[in-house]
Amino acid sequence: MPTVLESLHCALCLLAWAGAATAANDVFRSPVRPSDCRARDADSTCATAVAGAPLPPPFIPNPVLYDGPLGGVPASGYAYWGFDFVADETGTPSPVRPDEFINRSSVPVTITLTFDIPTGRACGTRCLPGMEFEVDAGFFKIDPPFVVSGNTVTCTHTFMPGRGYGWVIALWQSTNPRLTVTIPRGTTATLPEVGLSPRPSIVTEVPATLSTCYCWDGSTAACSEGSHFSNGLLGYWSQEFGNYTRAGAFNSCPVER
């Protein structure tokens, strides 16, 4: 009897030893190691590790389309920025007016202009630049509020899709004009889609062209809208009786009687 029990005991020991050896060999042969269980692994043996891995951050488009210098601001006098590049390139009429940028994107665009102002002398509001926006087909004026912080001043306005806009600047005692163009976070657009030049800091003059205009008395005469610049600058600007005049623009119509 004891011999039978000893034999059975030995057999159980052998089975246990064999099972342990097999498990050890399985672990040794397993292709899955801790370094395999990384986020985004498709191996089902790493399901727990993958499920617990942090999700990648969502894609959020950069809301800043441009933040840099604005080219072409003259040291004195008023200058105007606003030009419908699409109408000019395609020869189609502008849906607003040809001397305004047009926000053709599907999102609002915010235009912010920043200037350095002197702080070493008491000049009060005379340190601030002359600044206004012009909008819509009626060329309505918007006077943006100034925000002064230390030696900088900013003014800003937001233009909805489809709206025409432009701006007038006179530096006076301010310097270093900078342009920032932003759209709502999570939306997408490009500078051309919101109506602007893709390179606002570059100013290349586009020569004026002559054309024929209809005059007040029904006659026609040579005329020109003057030259313009690659970043939407139309040059020096003056206003009289609600109308503005671009430098270099003219018509040879007879004087209205």
Low-confidence ranges of the chain (pLDDT < 50): 1-52
Q: Provide the pLDDT for residue 141.
A: 94
pLDDT of residue 60: 61
Tell me the three-class secondary structure of the chain, residue by residue.
CHHHHHHHHHHHHHHHHHHHHHHHHHHHHCCCCHHHCCCCCCCHHHHHHHHHCCCCCCCCCCCEEEEEECCCCCCCCCEEECCCHHHHHHCCCCCCCCCCEECCCCCCEEEEEEEECCCCCCCHHHHCCEEEEEECCCCEEECCCCEEECCEEEEEEEECCCCEEEEEEECCCCEEEEEEEECCCCCCCCCCCCCCCCCCCCCCEECCCCEEEECCCCCEEEEECCCEECCCEEEEEEEECCEEEECCCEECCCCCC
- To the question of pTM greater than 0.85 for the whole model, the response is no
